[in-house]
Amino acid sequence: MLRFGLAFLAFLSASVFPLLAAAAPARVILLRHAEKRDDFRLCETGLERARALADQYLGAQAREPLLAPGQAPGAVFAVTLHALETAVPTTTSWKQPVVLYAVIPEEIQGFKDWRAGFPDAIAERSRWVTRLLLDDPHWTGRTVFVVWEHRGIANAALEAAHPGQQMTLRQTLGLDRLPNVPHTWPDSTYNYFWIIDFAPDGTPVNFQMKKQVFTGAYANLPANDWDMPDGLDPLVTGCKR
């Protein structure tokens, strides 16, 4: 009986555990939410960027699609109201919902003190979404979009202030194992994609940054280089950092 039990466990190890180990998306396309007006809304430039992202790169009829022909996103994840508003034109084009890991002011000790708890709340959501992506076989081999808050993507000061903890997607997705991944997403940079390819076991194997350069009706959107000023005057545009 014991011999049979050991054989059965060996069978489970060989057949079930590899399936769990293979539960990883083929690619994650990570981007920051668009430019904002305040803690709740995008500014006009941000709303235009949200539409442009769907029109040119991410939508079902995108002119320069980041997805392979015939491929739809496995999911579109967002974390804040800004990220939700950024994602909606894209998900509307695909007739998909936004999967929202909500962080909103009211849930963090009331609006007056919400900023004090903001990094921890974002970090918690970053860990949640990573666990879902790397543990659920539903995403195996698929491409997902993740629209996030920039301090929750990469922030060297935040990571250093919490040693031994995983505070950013850079940490939770294991991007610190790869070369050329920035340690911090700059405050002035809204116009880049991080594109990460994963092995079947969830190990990141390739990283690239792609600049968002829009054409046609959206050619006026900021196209600054990484960590360079975006040229937006808050008094004129109503956009703030």
- Written as six digits, the tokens of 134 are 């790397």
Tell how far CA 211 is from the center of its chain. 15
Residue 147's closest CA among 98, 106, 184? Answer: 98
Q: What's the whole-model pTM score?
A: 0.87
CA dist., res. 54 & res. 72, Å (int): 13
If pLDDT is split at 50, 70 and 90, which confidence band does 115 have? Answer: low
Look over the chain and give the mean of its residue pLDDT values, rounded to a whole number: 87
- pLDDT tens for residues 40-80? 899 999 999 999 999 999 999 999 999 999 999 999 999 99
What pLDDT sits at residue 108?
47
Q: Spell out the domain ranges in the chain.
A: 21-237
At the fourth CATH level, the homologous superfamily of domain 21-237 is Phosphoglycerate mutase-like (3.40.50.1240)
Residue 211 β-bridge partners: 192
Q: What is the dihedral of CA 36, 37, 40, 44, to 10 degrees?
A: -80
pLDDT surpassing 80 at residue 6? no
Burial 31-43 (b: 16+ CB within 10 A, else e): bbbbbbbeeeebb
- The pLDDT, as a whole number, for residue 3 is 45
d(Cα 76, Cα 95) in Å, to the nearest integer?
11
